[in-house]
Structure 1
């Protein structure tokens, strides 16, 4: 009984995630058209800040799609490693947009350093677990 309910809940969650992915894809297509209009359109010559804003938003949406796919592939579980990597890329994107404030740049680079250390620790723990598993066998 419990397994049946769990399977139904997973199907419902997958359905809603599919709808969310479709909506994100539609929004990405609209964003892409706006970027083309800003770049190519003669009446709408956009500034680099506007264009980069659209492009960075596009890649954020792309990461959401990838995260949804990874979530479904990994049986409704996102490994912490992927979340840390996505956080690093988001902070790097923020550094690209906001680079005129020295203190904020320093804080963002410290955040990236902390996340890289977290990735390193995760890999060390994974190696230790693999070695422990080999010793048990």
Structure 2
């Protein structure tokens, strides 16, 4: 009984994740259309901020789809490494958008340093566990 319930929940979650992925892909298509409209139809030089916003949003959605696919491929488990890497890329994107505020840039840079150190520590722990298993 419990196994059937787990299968049903897993199937339901996969269906909803698939629907979410399709909706995100549709929204990404709208973003692409808006980018092309701003670049080719309007041709407004002042629209560069809008174009950058659409592009950054597009890549955020793209990463969300990648993360969802990784979640399904890894049997409904996302390794912490992927979450840290996604966080680093999101902060880097924020640095591209907000580059004229020195205090915020410093804080974002410190956040990237902390996340990078976290990745390094995760790799050290992984290597030590591998060595311990081989003994």
Q: Does TM, normalized by the shorter one, top 0.5?
A: yes
Offset of residue 4 of structure 1 = 1.4
Note if 1:114 corresponds to 2:98.
Answer: no
Q: Which runs of 5+ in 1 are unaligned?
A: none
The answer to whether the aligner puts 1:80 opposite 2:80 as a matched pair is yes
Separation of aligned partners in 2, 1:47 and 1:29: 19
TM-score, structure 1 as length reference: 0.95
CA distance in 1, matches of 2:32, 2:109: 30
- RMSD of aligned alpha carbons: 0.9
Q: CA deviation at 1:12?
A: 0.3
Q: Which residue of 2 aligns with 1:36?
A: 36
Counterpart residue number, 2:126: 126
Moved over 6 A (4+): none
1:15: how far off? Answer: 0.2
In the TM superposition, 1:87-98 aligns within 5 A as 87-98=87-98
Count of residue correspondences: 134
